DNA sequence: ACGGCCATTGACATCGTTGTCGGCTCGGCT
DNA sequence: AGCCGAGCCGACAACGATGTCAATGGCCGT
């Protein structure tokens, strides 16, 4: 199968290759009948512009890069899917790249990548979206960046985020409204912006309700299951467990459920548990987790839009998008025991 | 930051661009001192060949495509990570593509993609690795394909697989050795090759042990949690539950655990449960699941190797790779109640 | 009728690399 | 001394698109 090139189309349509190029790119200054004639030939031949030729001759590569700390995490999967879907809707492709924080040479590896392919733009996810050196590198290469949920210097790049602080406060209020007073909090890792936001939202709501946050009710995890187990163990393996636990993500909340079960503490009768993220896990737990749905798909799609729009001149769009969260009420919350 | 091109390097090293090209591609017929001189300049300038120019002038695009039915599944994540890691080790990049079975135009979408970018090769995962039309399309475009765990026509393309049948048989034997006789099996969806293999392995082992498989002990799921719930419900909501359940994947096995718990059936005392895949979930369950570890990372890496090696002439390698599984014994299996 | 402007179109250079092929050099052989 | 082949290297075309710029032709105003 010989590939059909712009020349073939031009010849068959009886126009110059430049005109075909114009038609393919939807540029103005092409007479309607000519445009139609070219389109017809394109239909017939199935011609599609070659990405490499495009990338070489223009700046536009039609390639969006998504950079992850851990591309195999469920979170990364969600983001990828959103980005992928939007990319294909807009005729682009998605390149997945990993930035390994433990590899000493991540900078040179990334540098190589950026030299090899001139990306339309890059999507940076937590926690790497908060590495200043990394952003410097993209800047140096002139690659536009959109960060997702960064913690630092929000003015530095366009970004897409969810109001984690407000979501966390709202979730805390939900517990308070159910009568809970002794609420424990399991923090996430400080490297993630969302982690701090969620902690602050919790404090906001507690303070607003006139409740104090006891030190021994606040534990630090790292968003992973094991850390949730450890935190839950210290919380529940005492004579006086809290009446509710707000974990900074579903994985740790799930761990709390498991530990509660092991200790014979029934949820939600004697303990309420809530999480964050609305991962698949939240629905697989028993009881199912009340949690904050993070619209990762939409977040990623918005990030792609931001990049592609910025690449096209007419933009001047907003550089900061906030996507709404929703609180998903399931069975893991009950009224406080009296 | 102006990009440094092959010309710059050539000029600085006092050689022709062709020689630089030779050095970069490790070709023969370059004197050692010249090679060294060029390499030094490359070091100094940080020169990296432009991917688009390469892809345009040669056939080699340095781009590997990974095609998924659902790129956001945990399985897809594993595969991606393996492929990604190996790709970067070998100086390639990974393009993620989704083939949406529900979209009527998946063929034309895919066709467009293949016309736009000339991939080094494509990795096809279950279940799309078994769509003959899809493979036809790749063939028509001359794009090499490696399939992962296909069910059909194994001779048609190179492939990487795990011996699911043997793994399943071994797992069944493990249950039999623990004294279980009344073993239930939850099937996966017939569209997945692994699903049938696992079922056949189960039958092999049962037959070898002289045990019969009762119809009402065999249920069909679709690898998803909900289907596992339904299957477990019909299995356990009777006066005479089986003494062990072999689910075709961890997600469904996890569902069995949940249903057992709801019914007050303790695992592993009164019921043994095993799964397949060794997903993160298997370790988060309580009790933790005994399961078959699928080396997805290695499988994907092997697939990438197969593609890249095939692209380089000197190959003639094997076209069928089998990666070893391992059975991971955890707490969800106990001796059969007497 | 003429000049000017704008919409339309095409010829050609260009992007950064690899493929082809021919030329040069050097050593060994006759 | 002359010839030959192998090893080394460079000039130039090619890959398939876009960018630049000039040419064409129609329409308008005067």
The string of DSSP codes covering A61-101 is --EEEEEES-TTSHHHHHHHHHHHHHHHHTT-EEEEEE--T
Mutate to test the interface with A, among B52, B56, B229 (most CBs of A within 10 A): B52
| Nearest residue in A to B261, CA atom | A286
Structure confidence at residue A319 as a pLDDT band (50, 70, 90): confident
CB distance from A77 to chain B under 8 Å? Answer: yes
pLDDT bracket for residue B170 (50, 70, 90): very high
**Mutate which: B1, B24, B95, B96, vs A, most A CBs within 10 A:** B96
Q: Kindly report the number of other CB atoms within 10 A of residue B274's CB atom.
A: 29
Q: Please state, in angstroms and rounded to a whole number, the distance separating the CA atoms of residues A276 and B130.
A: 37
How far is the C-alpha of B304 from the C-alpha of B140, rounded, in Å?
A: 21
Predicted pLDDT at A310: 78
For domain B6-49, give its CATH number from 3.40.50.920, 3.40.50.720, 1.10.260.40, 1.50.10.10: 1.10.260.40
- The confidence score (pLDDT) of residue A312 equals 57
The neighbour count for residue A117, using CB atoms within 10 Å, is 23
Residue scoring higher pLDDT (A326 or A152): A326
Rg for chain B, CA atoms, rounded: 25
Contacts of A284 in chain B (CB under 8 A): 225, 251, 254-255, 258, 281
pLDDT class of A235 with cuts at 50, 70, 90: very high
Taking residues B300-315, what's their average pLDDT?
A: 79
Tokens at A55, concatenated: 């990338």
Q: Does domain A63-162+296-324 have CATH number 3.40.50.1820?
A: no
- Reference A203, options A242, A235, A231, A164; nearest CA is A164
B:237-276 residues touching chain A, CB 8 A cutoff: 251, 254-255, 258, 261-262
pLDDT higher than threshold 50 for residue B313: no
Q: Which nucleotide is nearest to B115 (CA to C1')?
A: D16
Instruction: Kindly indicate the confidence band of residue A154, based on its pLDDT and cuts at 50, 70 and 90.
Output: confident
A96 inside 8 A of chain B by CB = yes
Nearest to B328 by CA among B105, B133, B167: B167
- The candidate with the shortest Cα–Cα distance to A144, out of A300, A304, A298, is A304
Residue A101 has pLDDT above 90, yes or no: no
For residue B304, pLDDT over 80 is answered with yes
Size of chain A, expressed as the number of residues it contains: 338
Taking residues A246-260, what's their average pLDDT? Answer: 97
Mean pLDDT of A50-67: 91
Q: Closest Cα partner for A220 from A242, A260, A191, A243?
A: A191
Which residue is listed with tokens 């070998």?
A: B90
Q: What is the pLDDT of residue A251?
A: 96
In tens, the pLDDT along B67-126 reads 999 988 889 999 999 999 999 999 899 999 999 888 888 999 999 999 999 899 999 999
What is the pLDDT averaged over residues A224-251? 96
The C-alpha atoms of residue A74 and residue B95 are separated, in whole angstroms, by: 19
Local confidence band at A311 (pLDDT 50, 70, 90 cut-offs): low
pLDDT at B311: 64
pLDDT of residue A79 exceeding 70: yes
Q: Does A2 touch chain B (CB under 8 A)?
A: no
C-alpha span between B40 and B46 (Å, rounded): 10
**Residue B58 pLDDT:** 87
Integer Cα distance of B313 and A111 in angstroms: 30
In this predicted structure, what is the pLDDT of residue A1? 60
B47 to chain A, any CB pair closer than 8 A? The answer is yes
Contact A50/B at CB under 8 A: yes
Residue in chain A closest to B259 (alpha carbons) equals A286
Q: Across the interface, do B96 and A80 touch by the CB < 8 Å criterion?
A: yes
Structure tokens at B37: 């001189």
Same fold, B63-162+296-324 and B164-294: yes
CA distance B321 to B302: 8
Render pLDDT for B250-297 as a digit per residue (tens, 0 to 9).
999 999 999 999 999 999 999 999 999 999 999 999 899 999 999 999
Query: Strand, helix or coil at B107?
Result: helix
Average pLDDT of the segment spanning A97-102: 90
What is the least distance, in Å, from the CA of B74 to any CA of chain A?
A: 7
Tell whether the model's pLDDT for residue B309 goes beyond 90. Answer: no
State residue A314's pLDDT score: 44
pLDDT at B335: 95
Q: Which helix (H) or strand (E) holds A218?
A: strand A218-220
Question: Reduced to 3 states, what is the DSSP secondary structure of residue A321?
Answer: strand
Cβ-defined contact of B1 to A141 (cutoff 8 Å): yes
Residue of chain B with shortest Cα separation from A92: B113
pLDDT at B338 over 80: no
* pLDDT band at A338; cut points 50, 70, 90: low
Instruction: Measure the CA–CA gap between B285 and A284, rounded to whole angstroms.
Output: 10
Query: What is the pLDDT at residue B211?
Result: 95
Q: Looking at the domain B164-294, which fold is it?
A: Rossmann fold (3.40.50)
pLDDT at residue A252 in the model: 97
What residue segments make up the domains of chain A, in order of their start?
A: 6-49, 63-162+296-324, 164-294
More confident residue, A173 or A313: A173
* Among chain A residues, CA nearest to B283: A225
Q: Give the one of A51, A74, A115 whose C-beta lies nearest to B48's C-beta.
A: A115
CB nearest to A56's CB, from B52, B85, B142: B52
Phi/psi for B48 (5° steps) reads -135, 130
Task: Measure B290 CA to D2 C1' (Å).
Answer: 81
Question: What is the C-alpha separation between B296 and B303, in angstroms, rounded?
Answer: 10
A16 is near strand D: CB distance < 7 Å = no
- Residue range A3-44, pLDDT digits in tens: 899 999 999 999 999 999 999 998 888 899 999 999 999 999
Interface test with A, best of B47, B55, B69, B72 (most A CBs within 10 A): B72
**pLDDT at res. B61:** 87
Whole-number Å distance between alpha carbons of B76 and B69? 9
Beta pairing partners, B146: B123
Which of strand D's nucleotides are less than 7 A from any protein C-beta? Answer: 7-12, 14-20
Inform me whether the pLDDT recorded for A316 exceeds 50.
no
Q: What is the pLDDT of residue B225?
A: 96
Give the model's pLDDT for residue A329.
97
Q: Is A51 on the interface with B (CB under 8 A)?
A: yes
- B34-67 pLDDT, tens digit per residue, is 999 999 999 999 999 999 999 999 878 899 999 9
**Spatial distance between the Cα atoms of A279 and A268, rounded to a whole number of angstroms:** 20
Look at residue A325 and tell me whether its pLDDT is greater than 90.
yes
């Amino acid at each position: 199968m010989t590939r059909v090139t712009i020349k073939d189309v031009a010849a068959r349509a009886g126009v110059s290759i430049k005109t075909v190029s114009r038609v393919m790119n939807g540029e103005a200054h092409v007479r309607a009948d000519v445009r139609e004639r070219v389109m017809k030939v394109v239909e017939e031949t199935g011609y599609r512009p070659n990405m490499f030729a495009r990338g070489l001759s223009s700046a536009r590569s039609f390639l969006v890069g998504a950079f992850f700390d851990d591309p195999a995490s469920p979170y990364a999967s969600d983001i990828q899917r959103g980005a992928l879907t939007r990319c294909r809707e807009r005729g682009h492709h998605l390149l997945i790249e990993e930035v390994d924080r433990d590899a000493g040479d991540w900078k040179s590896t990334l540098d190589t990548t950026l030299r090899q392919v001139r990306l339309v733009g890059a999507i940076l996810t937590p926690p790497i979206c908060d590495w200043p050196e990394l952003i410097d590198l993209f800047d140096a290469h002139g690659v536009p960046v959109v960060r997702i949920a960064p913690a630092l210097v929000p003015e530095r790049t366009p970004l897409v985020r969810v109001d984690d602080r407000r979501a966390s406060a709202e979730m805390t209020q939900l517990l308070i409204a159910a009568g809970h007073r002794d609420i424990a909090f399991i923090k996430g890792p400080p490297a993630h912006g969302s982690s701090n936001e969620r902690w602050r939202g919790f404090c906001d709501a507690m303070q607003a309700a006139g409740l104090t946050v006891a030190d021994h009710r606040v534990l630090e995890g790292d968003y992973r299951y094991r850390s949730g187990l450890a935190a839950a163990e210290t919380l529940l393996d005492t004579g006086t467990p809290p009446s509710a636990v707000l974990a900074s993500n579903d994985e740790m909340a799930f761990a709390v459920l498991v530990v509660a079960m092991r200790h014979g503490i029934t949820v939600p009768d004697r303990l309420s548990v809530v999480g964050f993220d609305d991962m698949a896990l939240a629905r697989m737990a028993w009881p199912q987790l009340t949690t904050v749905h993070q619209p990762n798909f939409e977040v990623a799609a918005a990030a792609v839009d931001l990049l592609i729009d910025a690449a096209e001149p007419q933009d001047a769009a907003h550089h900061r998008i906030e996507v709404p969260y929703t609180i998903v009420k399931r069975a893991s919350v009950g009224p406080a025991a009296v």
